[in-house]
Structure 1
């Protein structure tokens, strides 16, 4: 999450009463709120994260066993799939997300969610961005539940210790309805960590027969990376400073990666939610 994104979005003149199913109006809304287009994500941070992924820093792999990427390949891939500036000489300032890439990926995600609904699949939802994206996941969860899908909630209460700048903290898996997130001391946490999803899948794998296994995972960050690495059909959201899920998509491990700024005000995503559910055939 980038505080700069939320601050910048606060200055936008935003009409939230967008007609939800019109591509042109959604495009305008995404640009106005800086969910896509000229986003607030710093270019220098983007490039630093690309280098960390290339160096196979675990914090920037998101649980994916990625091939060896060069920096040049990564920047080219991110320009193609996310819409960042392809010029390596652009090292500072703001960066971009291709708004039409965002909407195209929402179309693809909506189609996959729609298939899950029609076939009443078993699904798993999780977010490493609960402060901003929880509403997106909750709306999708409600729609899939109402369509007859089974929403899994494994490993509730599973916990582990992480080392932060303020010392050691215990984080545990909690659910907001059927959407998994991490909590510390009752507060939902931002995370890139794949370990919680790995724990959830391990519990499902170890369950006695008959056991449930997700047909589809809808997630972000390490939650999505770990499920994609496990071979589960996975669709997710990623910012332009999170190259691993785009690399996973390029390698065929992530079915859909929607590029967007994941740190704007939660209400700014509401027209996007309506558009996504309409594309899934689940609009109210």
Structure 2
């Protein structure tokens, strides 16, 4: 059994927490962009409160464990492993509740290269527990703003997890998809589910625009977020997102395996 102490050691060893790969410069720049209401950083959240740079820095210090000192402007950012563990416990409890209720679940990621395996294992476990894993709008087109301008992508599902692909990608069902922070794919998926007469998800699990976009529309949403992604944590603080787990979302995909086992054990879904 993976104990909290063992998982804490793993988080620090592979830099999922502790001194992470995210730089302080990048985090502060994204806090500034969020404060300016840049939609590329809001990723689907429509903040109700006043979130200036000072308020965001205090929030991220409280939720992630980054330094609250605005004079700290360079080097690696830091995520407190105790906060990660506490959030993983809350994350697992929400999954346990979904499994007990047999609610439909929608999973999606903007980090398929890194996090697809983590979410796919959750999808498998929830399906085995009797939850319907939703796949609305399969193959539908969605126009997403990228650094190269607006580009058309296709919504696809791999092992029950939604992601987006560029049109020139390989055949549907292959992996990986593209990195995206956009909330447009989850809006498309939820609209398609509603147009078809349901079912609608009782829980949305994901990251970036998937969790923020769903939470903003009133769906229960839980997910993962890095120290440079303030939007999910603002959503959590304002109540539109239920649980956000602070961790580095860009490490090797195999490093998330122990988190999967820990969450499933806590959710009473491990085999």
4+ residue stretches of structure 1 with deviation over 3 A?
161-169
Give me the whole-angstrom Cα distance separating, in 2, the residues matched to 1:70 and 1:149. 40
Which of these residues, 77, 90, 100, is aligned with residue 82 of structure 2? 100
Q: CA deviation at 1:96?
A: 0.1
Match of 1:239 in 2: 226
TM-score normalised per structure 2? 0.94
2:239 aligned counterpart, secondary structure: coil
Partner of 2:249 in structure 1? Answer: 262
Listed as ranges, the gaps of 5+ residues in structure 1 are: 1-18
Q: Aligned in 2, Cα 1:225/1:170: closer, same or farther, shift over 3 Å? A: same
Partner of 1:206: 195
Determine the C-alpha separation between the residues in 1 that align with 2:149 and 2:58. Answer: 38
Q: Does 1:75 align with 2:64?
A: no
Gaps of 5+ in 2: 170-175
Q: In the alignment, which of 69, 72, 94 is matched to residue 90 of structure 1?
A: 72
Residue aligned with 1:189, SS = coil
CA distance in 1, matches of 2:40, 2:138: 23
- The 8 Å contact of residues 17 and 78 in structure 2, kept in 1 or not, is answered as yes
Correspondence 1:64 to 2:53:
no
Match of 2:173 in 1: none
* Number of the residue aligned with 1:134: 116
User: CA shift at 1:40, angstroms?
Assistant: 1.3
CA–CA distance in structure 2, aligned partners of residues 200 and 168 of structure 1: 19
Out of 261, 266, 269, the position equivalent to 1:279 is 266
Give SS of 1:30's match: helix
Aligned 1:48-63 pairs, distance under 5 A: 48-63=29-44
Per-residue CA deviation, residues 211-270 of structure 1 (Å, 9 max, x unaligned), is 211100001000111100011111000000000000000001100000000000011111
Q: How many aligned positions are there? A: 263
* Structure 2 CA distance for aligned equivalents of residues 75 and 194 of structure 1: 23
* Counterparts in 2 of 1:201 and 1:165: CA distance versus 1, 3 Å: closer
Structure 2 CA distance for aligned equivalents of residues 115 and 62 of structure 1? 27
| Residues 1:167 and 1:234: Cα distance change in structure 2 (over 3 Å) | closer
* 1:145 lines up with 2:132 in the alignment: no
CA distance in 1, matches of 2:147, 2:92: 39
What's the CA shift for 1:168?
5.3
Partner residue of 1:188?
177
Matched, 1:217 2:204: yes
Cα distance in 2 for residues equivalent to 1:158 and 1:24? 44
Deviation of 1:206 after TM superposition, in Å, equals 1.7
Cα distance, 1:163–1:282 mapped onto 2, change above 3 Å:
closer
Q: What is the rounded CA distance, in whole Å, between the counterparts of 2:160 and 2:87 in structure 1?
A: 24
RMSD of aligned alpha carbons: 1.2
Match of 1:3 in 2: none
TM, length-normalised to structure 1: 0.90
CA distance in 1 between counterparts of 2:218 and 2:80 reads 28
